[in-house]
Structure 1
Amino acid sequence: MGTIVKQNKQLYKAISENKRFSLAIFICFMAILKIQYSNVESTEYLGIADTKEININSSHSVKIRNIHVIPGQTVEEDELLMELERPDLDLRIYELESQLNELKAENSFNSEMNKELKSVKVSNNENMDSPLQIKINSMTKQLIILKRKKADLFVFSKRAGVIGSINVKVGEDASPFTPLITMHDSAPSMIKGFIHESIYNKTYKGQKVVVTSISDPNKIMDAVVASVGNRIVEYPVRLRKSEASVTYGREVVIFVSKDNPFLIGEKVQIKSFEKPNEIMTAHAQAVPVRKIEDVIDLEIGVDIENTKVEPSGLVYIKDLNQTVMISDDTGRKDRPYIYTVNNSGLIDKEIEIEGVKAISDMEAISMDENGIIYIASSMSEKKNGKVSDKRKKLLMIERNDFNFKAIGEVNFYDALNKVAKSNKSEEWAQVLLAKGNKKIRINIEGILVKENTMYFGLRSGSKLTKDQFVLLKINDIKSVFAKNAIDADQISIQANVAFPIDSDFKNEGVSDIALINGELYVLTVNNTGKEGGRVLKTVLADPSNHMTELKRFKGLKPEGITYDTSASKFLISFDQGDKKSKLLLVDKF
């Protein structure tokens, strides 16, 4: 009996010691976790999933003729929303048509009289250039413009979405810019958060955050802070602890992708992490924060129509402190969209150029000393050997804040083709004309404008050899828009030179050009489609001399370059095709 008791005491002692050992292991494990995450401090605040509201209005006084939608209705792109009337426009069209018919009848009578007067010989050209014919041509153009404005009285949705409110009734008159209909996206495009005034300095533009639904913790996603308010404001009632408890803080806007899991108006929690070298993602994994010199992914932060933005050119605009970007993929309907991108790689605005119906394959952008922006299509042939009208365009654009309006549009390809065929023996024409001299064959990849002179970087041409840099120069570029034509004496070749020889970069062509701090920067890519390219530098006055290599890229296709004067950094965009596009920021090369 004593032996059994003794054995039981020994067993109890062993079990007790084993428990203490297990407890010690658990305490050590928790201590390790605490040490591991002690430096990861998080900041939490609340927000509401929201979407941008689109106001549909008219810039003129109008009468509501018909309304084809109701609040809450889901509409598709190009769906008819309402019909408007402008009595003043109808009257002006009627008057102009009457005057035009009278002038045409008079011109026809004069033409018949001239035919009968056999002793007076009047050529067709002289008749076309007569004051009467010039007036007819001018009035015809006015009539076309007025009829286009009449067509705009049929209001179509520019994108798919949901009708929010209808603020007018059939038969009512509406003043200019009065909101007639409001629309919003079918899913949230942003989170509006409010961070308490006591910790308002814990968040900043470009900061990565984790957004989680309050009602469903499984609805979670990573996002990036797009902007932080510059003043302290009152919290919305929904985000207060109680209605009577007035709270103040800074508004934080976070853009989210269109496939986010949240409902419009859903209450969410926003969490950011303060450790400088890492943040916690939605999957609780530590990832390094990218350094400013790294190549970073371009993120689409708004619900834009064109989800396949392929950056093809950049221009930094100082007063906006933003970089404007164009895309050679212009979407399903070739809408004239440009984008703004910040230095965190976030594409935060999509802007439609006013006055341009459609354009495709935008490849080059530049801004002159007066802030006028120019955009060029590639002018290149498709696989069928043809150049569509949408790919032949050169635009001249003026800007007011974030509003961009075309003040000039020219069919540049046809104008250049016409003057080249008429001057086949010129050096520049020989570079542009295809075999047989029947048409030009070019691919414009970069442009720059200085003192009303435009330079075109040609990636390929009918008579360009591999690894060749050709810079076409056209003087008095604004006159091209005025007369929709180019004179032979305006055109010359500024450079026709081989790129610096490198065994790793054979068969390369220009992908962009930019004049930065008085020096000409040239981007190149591989013409065969292989990913890779270089940054070269030379002087605009004589690009054939002193062309030096500054940087090379393997596995990346540089397509646009600009210089952020506020941050003193170069920006280079990369078009990676089906992969995610990228952006590089660097102080110097």
Structure 2
Amino acid sequence: MTKKNIHYIVIAITGFILLFLLFVSSKERVQFYGIADSKETVINYNFPVFIEKIYVSPGSPVKKGTPLLGIKLAPTNTSLKTLPLEIEQLQAEKEFWKTKKTHEIQNTLLIQKEELNKINYTIDQLKKISDQNTSILKEMKSLKLVPNATTTTTEDELNMLKKRRADLLKKYSFTLNALENEKEIGSQPLFKEMEKIAAEVNLGNHEKNDLIIINAPDDGVVGDLLCKTNTYVKPFEKLLSFYESHPNIIKGYIHENAHSKINIGDKVLVSSSTNDTKVYEGTVTGLGSRIVTIPERLRKISQIKIYGREINVLIETQTNSLLQKEKVLLTHLENNDKDLNRVPAVLN
């Protein structure tokens, strides 16, 4: 049997013995609920950095020295973080320009089509009239009724309309070619600006220092991950949070009618609200300076608001089996209880 197993068995036996001793005692105790937590370590850097690699994910348990992030120092003479955004904005402007010109070309083609349809319709009608007149004149000539009759007027109108159609086609051809040129040439300054910014980014990448590895400061768990790879981060901006594997800080709330019975330095027993074998000794390290609403999770009846004082407790053992954010029961120990001859009973 390993030392670890023996340790857990001793804790379990001690818990049950202390629980029995409490039940046979009639002495009333001050008890209240709290939440197990641990001190959060925020990891940041005092220089602008480029996030090269991320080795962990939120909630990952890690050992001391485990690589968390791979970063490179960013050049301080260039706001490289904003350059990719500038490229995106210029790309959007370029696409907007091309879309705008495409719509103008489409509208111009529609207008051209409408005008040409009107002219073609008029030409078709005049052709019909001209053909009818020509047929009538031929018949009249054959009858020698109008030997010198002609259709000069209609032919002149047709020629004029055909010239107008040719001019119209020439005009719209020029306009459409101009719009196509604007569509391409007009976006070139934006493209050149994008190339310039991209060159600055590449130069900055070459100027960055060697990869710096940020390691876990101790055994623990990765909390929030607030950065992404291939991005720039400002100085002192939070990269990720890290907390110890075993919570050793308890934030409790004692009812306002009992808060005067407990003082800084007093001993309390901390036990899991769901497992009586998880029992640890703690010391009161802080008292709130005002009465506050006790969180719903820590009330006997969650729907009824009650008020109390915040109590901070430090668990003295270096390791424990409590979970992060686990609900715990705290029992105030009197002077004659400091030998841990009692264990808390569950509150009614």
TM-score scaled to structure 1, two decimals?
0.30
TM-score scaled to structure 2, two decimals?
0.49
| Higher percent of residues as strand | 1
| Higher percent of residues as helix | 2
